């Protein structure tokens, strides 16, 4: 176990260095000139030289990358090209927190709805109840957010006036309800299908049949033997969902006026604000690498028979 942990921890910075190298060179050789982005089309050579010197653009590319990595390692991603004299971390951290809060609530909603429905469908496999749950999950999964969001706004905000239509006020504000449900619905549909299929597969295994033959109660068979083992593929999805907590849902954030990372990602691409784009990609990659490690540990918690090597 400790050997495995050590190996994974050693490889994490190597992978992130590779990601930073790719991201950095895409930023350096991508379309647009950093000087032009900052100063506009009309600028004098003296101003351009001053900007290039300040940003270290006169150094060899490898030196620029090493400087970038050294600063990024301590959370310094440089200054934004578009937002003058604003640090990238200063811009991103509040928006990352907003997106994380929204996605955590959405994740809880997806788990709370998807888990019992998937369990219910699996237990009633072969009856009319199972296909009803499956059909509804497929419909909600296929429903795009640009349809779900306006529909929820129309019914619950404009017609019934139960919640505000847009805006952001934090986790305990009513304005989080509609965007969280909009993101949570397709997530719940995924969990329904995963848990149902896993449960059905586990319920057909020999050890479950043996437990029933020995007279073990049906509740114990379902919860102790079937449900726990059926959670393994779900753990994978949960782990990658953790990686996505700091990624914004672009369409949802735009439709509901949420100041998350999704909107600033789109604005940065359009304005060629490469320091912001590079920071978002690097942070997202870091979250994915950490999520992979978390998934491995969750596997051992769900099923102790799995050994990390």
The residues pairing with 79 across neighbouring beta strands, listed in sequence order, are 87
Three-state DSSP string of the chain? CHHHHHHHHHHHHHHHHHHHHHHHHHHHHCCCCHHHHHHCCCCCHHHHHHHHHHHCCCCCHHHHHHHHHHHHCCCCCCECCCCCCCEHHHHHHHHHHHHHHHHHHHHHHHHHHHHHHHHHHHHCCCCCHHHHHHHHHHHHHHCCHHHHHHHHHHHHHHHCCCCCCCCCCCCCCHHHHHHHHHHHHHHHHHHHHHHHHHHHHHHCCHHHHHHHHCCCCHHHHHHHHHHHHHCHHHHHHHHHHHHHHHCCCHHHHHHCCCCCHHHHHHHHHHHCCHHHHHHHHHHHHHHHHHHHHHHHHHHHHHCCCCCCC
Q: Mind listing the pLDDT tens digit for each residue in 13-36?
A: 888 888 888 888 887 777 767 777
**What is the structure's pLDDT at 154?**
92
User: Please, what is the average pLDDT of the chain?
Assistant: 82
**What is the structure's pLDDT at 235?**
74
Residue labelled with tokens 């060179």: 25
pTM of the model: 0.81
Q: Does domain 98-302 have CATH number 1.10.3720.10?
A: yes
Write down the domain spans for the chain: 2-88, 98-302
Phi, psi of 79 (to 5 degrees): -105, 150
Q: Mind listing the pLDDT tens digit for each residue in 172-218?
A: 889 999 999 999 998 899 889 888 988 888 888 887 888 888 888 88
């Amino acid at each position: 176990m400790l050997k495995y942990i050590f190996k994974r921890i050693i490889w994490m910075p190597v992978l992130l260095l590779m990601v930073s190298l790719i991201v950095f060179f895409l930023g350096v050789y991508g379309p647009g000139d950093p000087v032009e982005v900052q100063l506009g089309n009309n600028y004098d050579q003296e101003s351009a030289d001053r900007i290039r010197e300040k940003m270290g653009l006169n150094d060899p590319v490898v030196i620029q990358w090493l400087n970038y990595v050294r600063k990024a390692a301590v959370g310094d991603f440089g200054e934004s090209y578009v937002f003058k004299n604003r640090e990238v971390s200063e811009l991103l951290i509040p928006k990352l927190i907003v997106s994380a809060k929204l996605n955590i609530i959405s994740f809880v909603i997806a788990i709370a709805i998807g888990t019992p429905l998937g369990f219910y469908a699996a237990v009633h496999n072969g009856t009319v109840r199972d296909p009803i749950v499956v059909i509804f999950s497929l419909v909600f999964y296929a429903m795009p957010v640009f349809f779900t969001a306006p529909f929820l706004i129309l019914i619950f905000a404009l017609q019934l006036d139960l919640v505000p239509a847009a805006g952001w006020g934090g986790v305990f504000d009513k304005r989080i309800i509609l965007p969280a449900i909009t993101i949570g619905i397709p997530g719940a549909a995924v969990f329904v299908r995963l848990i149902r299929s896993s449960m059905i597969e586990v319920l057909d295994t020999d050890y479950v049949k043996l437990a029933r033959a020995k007279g073990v109660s049906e509740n114990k068979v379902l919860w102790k033997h079937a449900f726990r083992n059926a959670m393994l593929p779900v753990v994978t999805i949960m782990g990658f969902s953790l990686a996505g907590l700091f990624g914004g849902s672009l369409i949802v954030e735009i439709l509901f006026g949420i100041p998350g990372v999704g909107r600033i990602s789109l604005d940065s691409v359009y304005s060629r604000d490469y320091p912001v784009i590079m920071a978002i990609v690097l942070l997202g990659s870091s979250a994915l690498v950490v999520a992979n490690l978390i998934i491995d540990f969750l596997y051992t918690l769900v099923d102790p028979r799995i050994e990390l090597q």
